[in-house]
Homo-oligomer: A and B are copies of this chain.
């Protein structure tokens, strides 16, 4: 069992106070450094660093060396439908099915506020915005994923829960956050069939590019959305493309939804750089470069999992995302490990003590660059040898 020194205990109390001020999300790196804690590695941050390198390379070449950046700063970006048109080339789906968001979070908000009324089934643990952003007209019905089953989704049980409680909206996150649990495609289609009578089914695929079994979402989007008019597929591009700062996300939805949303808003909700990204994403050269850094990152993430799994005193849950949910099985409190990693090793992880639906002591650890993962592993080995 890990324990804190006296000095670590004092700093730990400051961390707890800081977290309280930050709501259900993590305090920023910057805010932590202000406490005098020298944090170096952001194991909280769910983003492929190699994809950021790639984007920065392209941006340097396309915009900075050519002085074209000014244009992206000065001018109004294109309207939603035009950017959707660029994206449609990559996804091979007609642009009327695509709605572009200022980050996936804008789309989550739009759908929850405008399409979800009554009850919504939310499997927990989950990403907190899915219940925090609900309006007064909606009740969250929490479906507890089973700890014994590593929080994996059991589709039949979920469908039963929805039926029994007469719930009219449902959320599925695949892979799920914070555990990375993955629903294979055939089961997903089975779930959508079974939930066809609901008002809405939200399928959040923000982490799908990290799924080891390959990214099938690009081929099946059109087929699914045509078959299930109540389906809303949400996709963040912040994580897989390493570009959280430029706020890119999209939804694949029924054209009625796109038309309705655009009929009285969301006209210019992309930034210039977001438009640049969507254009880049439609280019084959960039895309093939991206697939390489994606694969590299997935492989390194898998290596980290294998190494962490060998340690005693922690249980690393199987994940198809770029992070691991880790249960502390030796009696250590998650807040203690969180503080120890931060203060002694400069490693910032997500203390999951505030995540509803998690039963036990958990932290969530993101995969970073190979060098950073090596340092993270070194710290874990020291603590759990």
Contacts and interface: CB of A to CB of B under 8 A. Distances in A.
B264 A245 contact: no
A28 B78 contact: yes
B244 A109 contact: no
B45 A75 contact: yes
Interface in A31-87: 45, 47, 49, 52, 55-56, 59, 64, 69-79
Interface in A262-311: 264-274
A270 B109 CA distance: 15
A358 to B, nearest CB: 22
B75 A55 contact: no
A105 interface: yes
A106 to B, nearest CB: 7
Interface stretch (A126-134, A175-183, A220-228): A126-134
A78 to B, nearest CB: 7
Contact-size category for A: 35 or more
Nearest to A265: B109
A217 interface: no
A155 B357 CA distance: 57
A245 B271 contact: yes
A238 B76 CA distance: 9
Contacts of A132: 264
Contacts of A70: 52, 56
B76 A267 contact: no
Nearest to A269: B102
Nearest to A81: B23
Nearest to A52: B74
B264 A246 contact: no
Contacts of A3: none
19 contacts: A25-B79, A45-B75, A52-B73, A56-B70, A59-B73, A74-B242, A74-B244, A74-B245, A76-B238, A102-B102, A105-B269, A109-B265, A129-B267, A132-B264, A135-B264, A246-B271, A246-B273, A247-B269, A271-B273
Given A73-B243, A271-B273, 17 more contacts: A28-B78, A52-B70, A56-B69, A56-B70, A73-B273, A75-B244, A75-B245, A76-B244, A77-B244, A77-B245, A102-B269, A106-B269, A113-B264, A133-B265, A245-B271, A246-B273, A271-B271
